[in-house]
Structure 1
Amino acid sequence: MNAHIVQTVVAATSYDAGVRAVSALSARMAYVAMCLTLCWGVLTATGWVHRLTGRQALRGGHIVLATFTLATGLTHGLAFLLLDSGGLGFLQVVLPFVDGGLARHALGIVGLELMIAVAITAGLHRVLETSQWVNFHRFSYVGVWLVAMHSWLGAAANGSVSTLWLGGITLLAPAITLTVLRFLPPEHLARIGLVDTPHVEVDNSPAPEEPAPKPGDPLSATVRTEVKDKIAVSVDHQRCHHYGICGSQAPKVFRLLEDGRLRYAKNPEASQTPLVEAAAHACPMRAIKVNRVKD
């Protein structure tokens, strides 16, 4: 009888050890894939791969890495449902702070679910407005850093920081660097050579004189404000790769259609000038040309 109990306990312990090993391995693989996904996504979306190497980056690589990250992350979380001792319930795995859940667990849950939501939205981007999809896609950065904090806090709690320190920092450093560069103002990126200053032509020819207002015309009593610059926009469709970054910068001027074509306003309102110039700065393929005309 006692021998049977001992054998059962040993089997259960070996089973739990195997499940924990799978959970730990999948967590480390998810961490690696997550950092690579972020780096590849920034390099692809901004066109910096082509800028630095002369070769185009494949967006499919970013999708494959993101899918692998989510798959291994889900494996890591769901493995805790299979433990015989010390396991977690389904609600504890999918909802933070259920039954006294730890903060580090909550970081991982929220981060992973946020990345899943971003992935689903990205898959449905043809149904949604382009600007909305791009803006929501940026929340993936938040998800990455939540999961990174979860990983490091978990490693500290399990006493494995020393073994993961070198690899973790090696992967996290370029991810942090690219994230910072991604959100730098265009003029700083142009200064370090990652983007080119967009080509802007200024038409300094004198504007035609306006006829003087007639007596009694309501406009005669109006104080004229300062003259604003109007712009003419053109896009080189041979160079444009339809990344949609221009739509996130100036959504009232640029828009990707459901069939992938780019629609844009050739003569936008003067109030859109700063946004259009920002879109020209951000375009990785330098496909947007801005002509400024004095009105």
Structure 2
Amino acid sequence: MCFTLCWGIFTATGWIKRLTGLQAIRSGHMILASLTLATGISHAVVFVLLREQSLSLTGISVPFTGKFRHTLGILGLEIMIAITLGVGMRRFVKYRNWLRFHQLAYPAVAMVVVHSWFGAIANGHLSVLWLGGLTAVTPAVTLTVLRFTPPRVLIKAGLLSAAPAATPPQMADIDPTEAPNRGVNGKKVQVSVDNQRCRRYGICQAESPELFQLLADGRLRYVRDPDTGSRAGAQAAARSCPMQAIQLQEVRSR
């Protein structure tokens, strides 16, 4: 479960796409998610079959009908199942709404972790499981914190490299029926979007709304020349683009 969360963060940010490729990251996340659901459902069904500490079908599927730790486990597992089913709805709903729903995986994982911790305490296994539990939880917590930390904070901490200064911003539009405008105006770092790759999912807007804006008519409006303060947001958007359509490039004047 924790590995699924970590791999999902890698999928969203693209931090390791140079090592494995984007498709491999996505496939790995889906495989880990399937294993997580299979393990969680099997864990719940086993309690129906046990002679000792057995639970009814209602007890493993309806929250708030038993102990608090059972409720956390049921809620966490059912949210994960709903998120998995919601993956197929991505093309039929607004991407930002779908993304917010998908991000419910973070509290779902937290619920299951607390459920596991309380269960180990109740069964007297905490002394056996605490080391392995912390080993699995620590990377997930660390990556989650980094995932939601503003890019400018990561730059100050030395985890991201700052980009060179740029000239004042200019706006550009990406029209679905036209090729992107790649004008060159002096030596600077420009943001360019490949119209052939861009599918207008809106991930760049979620990462850096001050630089990218998805219009109602399907065009993507973006800042071609971000200033120094916004450059970190452009880097985050470029890393997060699943289609690798956003590029930061240095151009020279003619």
Classify the TM-score, shorter chain: 0.7 to 0.9
Find the counterpart in structure 2 of residue 237 from structure 1: 194
For residue 195 of structure 1, report the CA deviation from its aligned partner.
4.3
Secondary structure of residue in 2 paired with 1:134? helix
Pairwise CA RMSD of aligned residues? 3.5
Aligned mates of 1:241, 1:161 — CA distance in 2: 49
Q: In 1, are the aligned partners of 2:70 and 2:115 still within 8 Å (CA)? A: yes
Q: How does 1:46-195 map to 2 (within 5 A)?
A: 46-50=13-17, 54-57=19-22, 58=24, 59-98=26-65, 101-192=66-157, 194-195=159-160
Identify the range of structure 1 (165-174 vs 58-67) with the bigger mean alpha-carbon deviation.
165-174
Cα 1:115/1:196, change in 2 over 3 Å: farther
Aligned mates of 1:75, 1:275 — CA distance in 2: 47
Secondary structure of residue in 1 paired with 2:167? strand
Q: What amino acid maps onto 1:74 in structure 2?
A: I
For residue 123 of structure 1, report the CA deviation from its aligned partner.
2.4
Find the counterpart in structure 2 of residue 253 from structure 1: 213
Q: In 1, are the aligned partners of 2:195 and 2:245 still within 8 Å (CA)? A: no
For residue 280 of structure 1, report the CA deviation from its aligned partner.
5.0
For residue 132 of structure 1, report the CA deviation from its aligned partner.
1.1
Aligned residues: 219
Q: In 1, are the aligned partners of 2:9 and 2:147 still within 8 Å (CA)? A: yes
Q: What amino acid maps onto 1:168 in structure 2?
A: G
Q: In 1, are the aligned partners of 2:76 and 2:111 still within 8 Å (CA)? A: yes
Q: Deviations over 1:74-112 (max 9, x none)?
A: 1111222223454222221111221xx111111111111
Identify the range of structure 1 (187-196 vs 165-174) with the bigger mean alpha-carbon deviation.
187-196
Aligned mates of 1:236, 1:282 — CA distance in 2: 11
Cα 1:69/1:241, change in 2 over 3 Å: farther
For residue 171 of structure 1, report the CA deviation from its aligned partner.
1.0
Structure 2: tracts of 5 or more residues without a match: 174-190, 250-254
Aligned mates of 2:237, 2:160 — CA distance in 1: 8
Q: In 1, are the aligned partners of 2:152 and 2:232 still within 8 Å (CA)? A: no
Of residues 246, 250, 254, the one that matches 1:287 is 246
For residue 168 of structure 1, report the CA deviation from its aligned partner.
1.2
Aligned mates of 1:263, 1:276 — CA distance in 2: 22
For residue 201 of structure 1, report the CA deviation from its aligned partner.
3.6
Q: What amino acid maps onto 2:172 in structure 1?
A: A
Cα 1:264/1:61, change in 2 over 3 Å: same
Q: Deviations over 1:146-186 (max 9, x none)?
A: 00000111011111111112211111111110000001011
Structure 1: tracts of 5 or more residues without a match: 1-33, 204-228, 269-273, 291-295
Find the counterpart in structure 2 of residue 226 from structure 1: none
Secondary structure of residue in 1 paired with 2:64? coil
Percent identity, please. 40
Does 2:220 align with 1:264?
yes
Cα 1:276/1:247, change in 2 over 3 Å: farther
For residue 239 of structure 1, report the CA deviation from its aligned partner.
11
Question: TM-score with structure 2 length normalisation?
Answer: 0.72
Question: TM-score with structure 1 length normalisation?
Answer: 0.63
Aligned mates of 2:52, 2:154 — CA distance in 1: 53
